[in-house]
Amino acid sequence: MRQALAEAGLAAASGDVPVGAVVVGPDGTSVLATAHNERELTGDPTAHAEVLAIRRAAQALGGWRLTGCTLVVTLEPCTLCAGAAVHSRLDRVVYGARDEKAGAAGSLWDLIRDRRLNHRPEVIGGVLADACAEPLTRFFRDTDFRPQPPMG
């Protein structure tokens, strides 16, 4: 989680919401990929930390199935990221701060553990929750964060 927090700091430095993610390999120790939010940086609405980390981990493994892997993220995944976790066949999702407004791993929705889906990763929430929530609170308190107009 501390590595994901370091990634979150990189997101804030580029004007993005400070969320960081890490994908740990099946051995439980090797880091396959790291990422942070890049939506503002790239203008890509899908450039969430989790999606980028999952893409990079799949590239590192040479395939889309991340069986045995763990996604560690500083903020509870939204529906986009929860769906990516399910579809990539991650074994578990570990998150820090709950997201009462958009969380899809138990707060607002529980997409990841929906019994109607063909794969349900284990979910572990609240890991270093206060440390993960603090950069988000600071970002939204100190930043005049408004979505940018469409590019083009």
Q: What is the largest CA-CA distance in the chain?
A: 44
50 is annotated as an active-site residue: yes
Task: Tell me the binding residues for Zn(2+).
Answer: 48, 78, 81
Closest residue by Cα to residue 100 from 123, 120, 75: 75
User: How far is 132 from 5, CA to CA, in rounded Å?
Assistant: 7
Give 138-145's long-range contacts (Cβ < 8 A, gap of 24+).
Answer: 139/12, 139/17, 139/18, 143/15, 145/17
The distance of Cα 49 from the centroid of its chain, to the nearest Å, equals: 5
Place of tokens 């929750």: 129
From the annotation, which residues make up the binding site?
48, 78, 81
Write down the catalytic residue from 7, 38, 40, 50: 50
Catalytic residues: 50
